[in-house]
Structures are given as C-alpha cells and as structure tokens.
Amino acid sequence: MNKFRKNTSLSVDKIKKFMHKIKVDIDNNKSYYLINNKTKINFVKGKEAFIPCCDFLNKLAEKINNKSIILNELESKEELKFPFLVDNPDLCNNKEYITHNILKINKIINHKKMQINGFHHDLSTNNSETPLIF
C-alpha cells in the first residue's frame, strides 16, 4: 500500500490495465467485472468512472514529486487488528462480531486518547490488487 501511495503512477498503470478487463453486458448495457470468472461486480458507471481517479492520482504524483505534499507511510497497528477466521467466513459479514471487536479495541486504545468511531469493510478477493483499485 505504501508503495502505491508514494508512487501513484503505479496505481494509475494498474487502474488502466484493469479498465481493459471491464466488460459490458450487451443485454442491459451495464458494466461489470468478473473476479476469477466467478464473482460478478457491477458498476454504476463504466470505465469512465475510473478516469477522474487517474487524473487525481496523476496530479497527486506531481505534488509528491514537487515536494508540495508529503505522505507519511501507513503503519500496521497490531492493537487495531482482530481475526476473521478462515474456517468461519460468515464472520466477515456478522455485524455483532465486528461491533464487539471494535468495542474491545476501543477499550485497549482508550489510554492513547484514540477511538474508532466507524468501520467500513468490503468483501473481496484474495488478490490484493483488485480491492486496491476499487
């Protein structure tokens, strides 16, 4: 992730390659992407939705190169992690399990005057590039 944050042109290259994999259903003219030829992800907008993202990342690359913006590296924090067991994938969509663990993390990090106020997750693929592009 840090590699892509520091060199956003890598992300633009990945997005452009990905855009060629987006298909259009000729019956309803809707765009979609198939993960491993199994899971279908539908897009509200097609390939054109990725163009503003590429433009933004190109401008960000200029700012990083000109040193007008500095992005600190993201750090992995062990105290912010909780397990999603491989043998119980339903936990990924279990709101009670997620809420319970977030409350538990908030108790642990409370002494650092930090708090998790919200949580967002997406079910995705084991290919790390796909969720990064989305």
Per-residue model confidence as pLDDT tens digits over 11-41: 888 888 888 888 888 898 888 888 777 778 8
37: phi > 0 → left, psi -120 to 50 → alpha, else beta; which? Answer: left
Q: Report how far residue 29's alpha carbon sits from residue 6's, in angstroms, rounded to the nearest whole number.
A: 37
Pairing verdict, β 23-25 and 39-43: unpaired
Confidence of residue 120 (pLDDT cuts 50, 70, 90): low
pTM: 0.59
Domain ranges, ordered by start, for the chain: 2-75, 77-134
Residues 51-71 have pLDDT tens digits of 998 999 999 989 988 888 888
Q: Give the pLDDT of residue 131.
A: 59
In the prediction, which pLDDT does 58 show?
A: 92
- Percent pLDDT > 70 in the chain is 87
